[in-house]
Amino acid sequence: MISTLSRLRAPAILQGVWNYRGFIAGSVKREFQAKYRNSLLGATWTILNPLALIVVYTIIFSNVMGSRMPGQASGFAYSIHLCAGLLTWGLFAEITSRGQGVFLEHANLIKKLSFPRICLPIVVVLNALVNFAIIFGLFIAFLVIAGLFPGWVFLAVVPVLLIQVVFAIGLGMILGVLNVFFRDVGQFFTILLQFWFWFTPIVYVADVLPPSIKSLLAWNPMAAVVAAHQNIILHGKLPDWSSLLPVSLLALASCVLGMRLFRKRAGEMVDEL
């Protein structure tokens, strides 16, 4: 059976998403509220969880292990380096992890209702952006209060975030479709994400790596993205845009492949679910 959705072109899909904008907004609101329902601290956990992780890493690496940022005299340098990496990685990890299971998670909804299923990955992305905006906004406030805000250069974060989100959306959709037919995909990606995190210079500086290993970072698309955020926020420098070209092309290719997979297998996904 070939779904009607699989024959629709991009403009029709976008129109469907616009028609169901109320559903998308309502889903984002409900999911955010449900996450903290019956919790005394509520949305405060959105701040406390990443904050606890940052504090632990900062104490261990900066104080216990004596990690320091080369060329940086500020006592907050390592913490800023760490926050810039952890927060942006957290956004990427949340979108891709939720994306790989979104169709399985909403199987009953997909089978019972006729609506643009592309809305589900969009809800995932918007929820992740809401969570990210809260903690990243507090991070910005800290930079301003501490007198460490990089100034107008900070605007360069916007295109870097856009590249990162597009890459995460495309990868999440590919994983989400494949995971419907091959459930091992989700399990494998969960393990891969852990190795991927430690292969990205977040809790350490790329310069400490041996040259043979450092050269391999060129094959890690998130290394360039994280380094761009760290250069902007910590060093107050514009990113090396040429280093972001490969991940930008990969992001576009992932989105195209994800949409094609989704459109081609939409009907089969309903049967499989």
Q: What is the pLDDT of residue 112?
A: 67
**Which amino acid is located at 223 in the chain?**
A
Q: Quickly state the pLDDT bin for 146 (edges 50, 70, 90).
A: confident
Q: Whole-angstrom Cα distance, residue 28 to residue 192?
A: 28
Q: What single DSSP character describes residue 7?
A: G
Selection from 180, 173, 167 nearest residue 13 by Cα: 173
Is pLDDT above 50 for 166?
yes
CB 269 within 8 A of CB 180: yes
Counting other chains too, the contacts that 195-201 makes at CB distance below 8 Å and 24 or more residues apart are 196/220, 196/222, 197/89, 197/93, 199/223, 200/85, 200/89, 200/226, 201/85, 201/226, 201/227, 201/230
Residue 65 has pLDDT above 60, yes or no: no
Range of the domain at 258: 5-272
Q: pLDDT at residue 2 above 50?
A: no
242 backbone φψ class: left, alpha, beta (φ>0; ψ -120 to 50): alpha
| Cβ–Cβ under 8 Å, residues 130 and 30 | no
pLDDT digits (tens, 9 = 90+) for 195-227: 999 999 998 888 888 888 888 898 999 999 999
Dig out the tokens for 69 from the structure. 């940022």
Has residue 10 got a pLDDT over 60?
Answer: no
The answer to whether the predicted template modeling score (pTM) of the entire model surpasses 0.75 is yes
Distances in Å between the Cα of 27 and the Cα atoms of 106, 117, 124, 194 are 12, 13, 9, 29
Q: How much of the chain exceeds pLDDT 70, in percent? A: 77
pLDDT digits (tens, 9 = 90+) for 171-204: 999 999 999 888 888 889 999 999 999 999 998 8
pLDDT band at 74; cut points 50, 70, 90: low
Give the pLDDT band of residue 82 (cuts 50, 70, 90).
confident
Nearest to 32 by CA among 152, 123, 143: 123
* pLDDT averaged over every residue in the chain: 81
Q: Stretch 2-28: mean pLDDT, rounded?
A: 63
**Number of domains comprising the chain:** 1
